[in-house]
Amino acid sequence: MRIYFKHGSKSAVDNYVGHSNEIIVDTDSNTLRLCDGETRGGFEIPNSDIIDRKISAEISDLKTFSELPHIIETYTNGSSWYRVFSDGWCEQGGLFGEQYTAYSEKTFTFLKPFKDDKFYAFCHCSNSSDLNYPSIKVKNKNYVTFVNTYNENGLGNWLAVGYIDLED
C-alpha cells in the first residue's frame, strides 16, 4: 500500500478527486483529507481542533440542569400534599381524613387545580381483609370523586398527577 501526499488551496482541494489512500492538505484551512479515488475533495481527517469544535457544539446543545424539569414548589398540610415541577407537572395526594364506608363516595378538592381534565387520578383503599381500588365517579380540573364499590369499610389514600398552569 502506498500513501500519496498532495497540497493545495481549499478550492483546488475541493475539486480534486485523487487516488485511493491519497492524503491531501488544504493549505487554506490546514486540514488533511483522505481520498478514495472517487469523491471530489476526499474526506476530512478530524484533528483535535475539529474534534474540540464538534464536542463543544454537542455540549452546547445539552440542556443545563436549570432547563430540565425540577421541583420548584412543595407543600404539606396534615395528610394532603403536592409538589410542582418547573414544566408545570404536578403531583398531589393525601390520606382519607376518616374511614370510608361501604358503597360511599369521597370527593377530594385539589390543592392545585389542573389545566384540564387530562390528568391521572388513583385511589387505593384497604380494609381488614382485602385491598380495593375505588372507581372514579366525577373528575374535573378542580376535584375528583371516588366511589367505594365494595361492601367494606376501610382507610385509603389518593394520588393525582398532571399539568397545571404555573401562572395560577
44 inside domain: yes
Q: Is the pTM of this model over 0.85?
A: no
Residues facing 95 on adjacent strands: 157
Where does a domain end: 62, 96, 112?
62
Is residue 2 pLDDT above 70, yes or no? Answer: no
Annotate 18-52 with b (16+ C-beta within 10 A) or e (fewer).
beeebbbebeeeebbbbbeeeeebbeeeeeeeeee
State the pLDDT confidence band at 137, using cuts at 50, 70 and 90. Answer: confident
Cell numbers describing residue 68: 430540565
Q: Are the C-beta atoms of residues 157 and 120 closer than 8 Å to each other? A: no
For residues 54-77, give the mean pLDDT.
79
Same domain? 58 vs 71: no
Same domain? 52 vs 83: no
Return the CATH number at 79: 2.60.40
Return the pLDDT at 130.
60
More confident residue, 54 or 89: 89
More confident residue, 164 or 132: 164
Same domain? 46 vs 78: no
